[in-house]
Structure 1
Amino acid sequence: MFDSFERRDGPNERKKLQCNSCKRQTIHTLEAQCIGRWQEEFGCGHSADGGVEFSLYRCGACDEVCFETSSWCSEEYDHDDEGNIYLPRTEIQYPPPSSADFAFDTDFTPHDLNELIDEMLYALAGSKLKLATVALRMVVEFIVTDTKCAGRNLMRKIDDLHAKGHVDQNQLALLHKIREKGNAGAHERKAMNRNEMVAGIGLVNLLLEKLYNSPKRQEEIVKKANQAFQSDDDS
């Protein structure tokens, strides 16, 4: 529960957000904003505080409206490159941002993998490149683990994917780039740029087609053909 809740008068801000109508990032104007703040006492002189900003944005290209929350908490602090403490914010956009850049065929892919892909695309569409970088690595790790690639770590499993003939030498090198940059994203908070993310996602799309979708489609086609010809023989 908030200890205070107020409406901000005359907001005059602009922000680049992913527009679900334009299917791209556009400049949005802040039309309205409310701010709720809370504070909690834990005893022994210890307390915590935080808040949430509720913002209504309008796309400058098509007038489509979206809603965003931005929350923070004094217990969830971090340090910048100079060692100064700051409170990172968690921003969530409604409806979730979507992109026209990627069209994944997930008809035959595992549900858990689809959820990872959705979270990765959500982070990328919202320009959360550090989160998207780590999520891309997680997608690759899920694929090599789910397809029973051998190895005690992700590097060895990617090598085994190549040994099994699922990727060529060039694709192998690119998957290792994703692994290395994903490690840097998780441990050093270094993000891929958008072009790198787009290239990596394109490679993942190839893996989905080769390892999941194409084999299952062939299996269904052959099954239907066998049924059709069996029915013809019976008649």
Structure 2
Amino acid sequence: MFGTFTRNAEIDSRKRLQCNECRRQTIHTLEAQCVGRWHEEHRFGAIYGWTEFSLYRCGACDEVCFEKKSYFSEQYDNDDDGTIRLIPDEVQYPPPSSADFAFNTEYTPADLNELIEEMLYALAGSKLKLATVALRMVVEFIVNDTKCAGRGLQKKIEDLHTKGHVDEVQLALLHKIREKGNAGAHERIAMSRNEMVAGIGLVNLLLERLYNGPARQADVIKKANHAFKS
């Protein structure tokens, strides 16, 4: 529960956000903002945090979106010079979307859909390091969910090829996603936006081959069997 909740009267801020109406990133103006703060004392010290509730308006089309940004004293990172920087959890409503990075999740597992949504949100917010790692996690989820054999992601991706789900070119590209995902996690090296969009296209092929295509085929056959029996 917040200890204080106040409205910021003096606001003059703009930021680049994904606009669902424009279907691209545009400059948004901050129109209103409230901040809730909390503080708790414990035996080993105090913890604290705050949440910013912000209303933004797109500068290109006037569409409005809402952003919630939460900070917690125990969720932080260190800059290169050693300065502590709190890492916020950010959520945008409605969730950002784009024609450039979209998945067909018609028949995919709910846990995979949740992971994909988190990755797309990171990408829409230009958090390319997080999106890079998340794309690797999406590939890892798929090979695990489809029971690919092998120890480690490299071997499991190879098994996708062995089973005939990807060709040689797709195999090499999936290894690129794995390698760049590793670099994102361990060295904080992000894919470019173009690389992310290309990787998403490749994963979409996997979703079609392993989930959506077979499920649609099963539906068609089921309906056909029912029709010809009647």
Q: What TM-score, normalized by structure 2, do the two folds share?
A: 0.91
Which secondary structure does the structure 2 equivalent of 1:56 belong to? strand
- Map of 2:216 onto structure 1: 217
Alignment of 1:22-171 (within 5 A): 22-43=22-43, 46-171=45-170
- Map of 2:195 onto structure 1: 196
Deviation track 1:201-228 (CA, whole Å, cap 9, x = no partner) reads 0000111111222223333334444555
Which secondary structure does the structure 2 equivalent of 1:82 belong to? coil
Q: Report the residue type matching 1:25 in the other structure.
A: Q
Question: 1:58 and 1:187 mapped to 2: Cα distance?
Answer: 36
Question: 2:128 and 2:25 mapped to 1: Cα distance?
Answer: 14
Q: Report the residue type matching 1:50 in the other structure.
A: G
Instruction: Give me the CA root mean square deviation.
Output: 1.9
**Larger-Rg structure:** 1
Deviation at 1:21, TM superposition (A): 1.4
Gaps of 5+ in 1: none
Deviation track 1:95-133 (CA, whole Å, cap 9, x = no partner) reads 211222244332322222222222222221222222221
- Map of 1:16 onto structure 2: 16
| Alignment CA distance shift 1:209-1:42 (3 Å) | same
- Map of 2:6 onto structure 1: 6
| Alignment CA distance shift 1:81-1:223 (3 Å) | same
Question: 1:119 and 1:198 mapped to 2: Cα distance?
Answer: 15
Q: Report the residue type matching 2:7 in the other structure.
A: R
Deviation track 1:153-192 (CA, whole Å, cap 9, x = no partner) reads 1100001111122111111111011111112222333222
Question: 1:187 and 1:140 mapped to 2: Cα distance?
Answer: 17
Deviation track 1:80-107 (CA, whole Å, cap 9, x = no partner) reads 1222222122221122112222443323
Question: 1:226 and 1:172 mapped to 2: Cα distance?
Answer: 37
Q: Pick which of 94-103 and 206-215 moved more.
A: 94-103
Name the count of aligned residue pairs: 230
Q: Does 1:177 align with 2:156?
A: no
